[in-house]
Chain A
Amino acid sequence: MSQHEASLPGKARLAGIAANGWKPLFLRWLTLPTAAVSALLIGAAIIAVMGANPLTGYHALLTGAFGGSYALTSTAVKAVPLLLVGIGICISFRANVLNIGGEGQIVMGGLAGAATALALPNLPKIVLIPLVLLAGCVGGGIWGAIPGIFKAYRNVNEVLSTIMLNLVAVQLMNYLLAGPMIDKSESFAVVGRIPQTRLLSPNSWLPIIVPGTQLHLGVVIAVLVAVAVYVLLRRTGVGFRIRSVGLSTDASRYAGMAVKRTTAMALTLSGAMCGMAGAMLVFGSISHRMVTDGTLSGFTGSDGYYGIVVALFGGLNPLWTILSAFLFGGLLVGGVSMGIALNVPYSSDLVTTIVGLVVCFVVALDAVRRRANLQSGPASLRQLLTRNWRAPADSGPRAAPVPAIQPAIEAAVPLPPPPVPELTPADPGEALP
């Protein structure tokens, strides 16, 4: 919906929807699932061409993701780091900072958490678990603060510094896990060394809240964090400054805000969230160790990139991000099951391809949907399609320009409504194109 609409109180919004007809609502809610399904159809075609059975595959995808309590809990557990990274991205993107360093921040958080658990294994559970999660925040926060400070105070572009810091983080992880933090216990010393830590203290394991499944406390914590960050962004001074700086650094500066500090703070908080995701990965894992195979994605599962996708699908709103993280987690978890069901050796690549297609389709159709909403509801689908390709022939009152890096914040963060241009008969200059 346009910024104007979003600021209206509930009843007026409903009235507006009723007036515009059901089509905009239809478009808003069903475009995204349509996109996902379209991508999956293309995926089915690819599966068929490669010689496997798409029906078997997709059946396994859906049942592996959502079919039964075990699947649902696996999806929820997979969604935890996605959600946390997504929340971090919500924060940084609101401040107009592109945080591509999620992968490295996850790793640093994991390392910090693991180091804490190795150093203080005998603390009681009630102290150790929050402590390791906090350590994860600190580790990731530092890794976010570095590019944050570089950007704020030295104008080093964050895309560059975060990508470079990812590279540094993986080497640091390899060095620490094969060196100072390695498991020196007998059973592994026999044949070569495995770059992993000792079994971490059971006091640090995230407790399973549904016995018989993998569902651990981290799920609850992540949801609470999502709510907390939502409140932070909407209701606190810090959040206001972050959003304000994201919309206009000049205006914020004139308003007396510490723009540089806020920018650095946004990246730091973003990193902290990713760091907590890393700690969750370590302490919620089946193996209860931190282990590396030498690559970033071996530990993170590319959550640093998927989290960006999840955040943007959630409209940069931490609460919606909970849902999109769950759905995306389902796609990834179901993908493993699909791989097993398809039973061809290259199935993991196949699943990756389909995930990529889903992302592309959803992001493309989401853009179409947003353009439709910006122009206050087309009268027909046909108008919607033609409108995007050339200048609108009969648009209504024009919405204020929207900074494109924050696509859907107009839906979630109402700003004061822009002045609607008043059309008077005596004003020939206000021409409708």
Chain B
Amino acid sequence: MNHFFTVAVLSATVASGIALGCPLLLAALGETVGQRSGVLNLGVDGIMLLSAFGAYFVALRTGNIALGVLVALGVGAVMGLITAFINVTVRAEQGISGIGIYIAALGLSGMLFERYVGTPLPITNTRGPFFAVDIPLLDRIPYVGTMFFKQNVLVYLAILLILALTFVLRHTTYGMKVQAAGENPAAADTVGLDVSRIRYSAVIFGCTMAGLAGAALLIVDGIFQENLTQGAGFIAVALVYFGGWRPAGVAIGALLYGLTGAVILTWKTLGIIPLSLSDLAATAPAVIVVLALLFLVGRYRQPTALSKPYLRGVS
């Protein structure tokens, strides 16, 4: 156990936890905005997969990761448009439309990967801002420096997003509109807000974030594989509930989940957790998140109109 408490191991664990939690966080932040506007999107995982594939394909062919990230954003936005159309305009049942998109995107990403990539190679650019941005000076702080200030640029972006989204949701007109659309769309409609347009924008933003999350995951893994996300998108959706539909809460959830996973993994590699209990130990992040919600977190109400399509005169 004293091996664990060395600087190198601890800081690598925390850094790893943050890096692993980043895709979850990005997707969950996007989903938060979407859910605040009243739309439940269970297709996040599929969108992450499709965007990750898009980013991978482009990065592989051009050698340019930034371009790959842009493509991922684009794929996310397009999927957001489709999701919004199905959920907001057509007013389909949001739970299953999300699952339908998940299944379709899972198959599509795998199919395109096998057909057009063949034997995969890792994306080559292992240096550069998408892998590690060393923040000058701050990264020299002992212990904490390597943990927090040598992450890839998307981590810093995620942190900025937490602050930005908290501000936007609480203090801007747009944020008010989003909350109105999610709490009481009928009242919002009466006041003259275009509920459809607000929900569209929120969902497209959410799915674009899912696209970014897919790119972040690809960068962390360095290569694409079938079902790269392994259900991470669903965990991101769950984290929205954990966080009480507040960006800060969601961030805490993502951090908790990521860190617990990283700690367990490190303990496994150090042999602190015996091989026979390896599987049981892997349940820790899930259990801890649920326990945390049970005992620590305050009670936040979900947006009243969540997953209820809005049609004037009816709902």
Contact = CB atoms under 8 A, between A and B. Distances in A.
| Direct A–B touching, Cβ under 8 Å | yes
A433 B111 CA distance: 50
Interface string B37-59: 00000100010000000000000
Interface string B276-315: 1101101101110110011000010010000111011111
Contact of A356 (B105, B115, B293, B313): B105
B294 A308 contact: no
Interface string A361-396: 001101110010010000000000000110110010
A208 B85 CA distance: 46
Contacts of A405: 93, 95, 307-308
Interface stretch (A59-67, A151-159, A184-192): A151-159
Contact of A363 (B92, B102, B307): B92
A16 interface: no
Contacts of B115: 50-51, 346
B309 to A, nearest CB: 5
Interface in A57-94: none
A404 B294 contact: no
User: Which of B86, B100, B110, B313 is packed against the most chain A CB atoms within 10 Å?
Assistant: B100
B103 A312 contact: no
B91 interface: yes
Given A160-B242, A309-B100, A359-B99, A178 B293 contact: no
A174 B315 contact: no
A356 B279 contact: no
Given A159-B238, A356-B102, A349 B111 contact: yes
A171 interface: yes
B114 interface: yes
B315 A156 contact: no
A338 interface: no
Contact of B107 (A163, A351, A403): A351
Contact of B294 (A51, A154, A166, A364): A154
Contacts of A308: 95-96, 99
A309 B92 CA distance: 12
Interface string B76-97: 0000000000100111110111
Contact of A352 (B92, B107, B293): B107
B101 interface: yes
Interface string B230-251: 0100110111011000000000
B153 interface: no
A346 B111 contact: yes
A328 B32 CA distance: 32
A34 B243 CA distance: 41
A352 B103 contact: yes
Contacts of B42: 100
User: Which of A349, A352, A371 is packed against the most chain B CB atoms within 10 Å?
Assistant: A349
User: Which of B42, B108, B279, B307 is packed against the most chain A CB atoms within 10 Å?
Assistant: B279
A355 B102 CA distance: 11
Interface in A149-177: 150, 154-157, 159-161, 163-168, 171-172, 174-175
Contact of B237 (A163, A171, A356): A163
Interface string B97-132: 101111111111011001100000000000000000
Given A364-B97, A402-B315, A172 B86 contact: no
Given A157-B241, A346-B115, A356-B101, A374 B314 contact: yes
Contacts of B89: 388-389
Contact of A353 (B92, B108, B282): B108
Interface string A275-286: 000000000000
A395 B238 CA distance: 39
A417 interface: no
A360 interface: yes
Given A150-B290, A164-B290, A404-B307, A360 B86 contact: yes
A166 B230 CA distance: 12
Nearest to A173: B279
A163 B290 CA distance: 10
A179 interface: yes
Given A309-B99, A367-B309, A407-B93, A163 B104 contact: no
13 contacts: A50-B115, A161-B293, A174-B279, A175-B280, A346-B114, A352-B103, A353-B103, A356-B103, A357-B100, A359-B103, A363-B96, A366-B92, A368-B90
Given A50-B111, A156-B294, A171-B283, 17 more contacts: A50-B115, A160-B241, A163-B235, A167-B286, A171-B279, A172-B280, A349-B110, A349-B226, A353-B103, A354-B107, A355-B103, A357-B100, A359-B103, A371-B311, A388-B311, A392-B313, A402-B315
Report the 6 A-B pairs with minimum CB-CB distance, sorted nearest first.
A356-B104, A352-B107, A359-B100, A353-B107, A356-B103, A349-B110
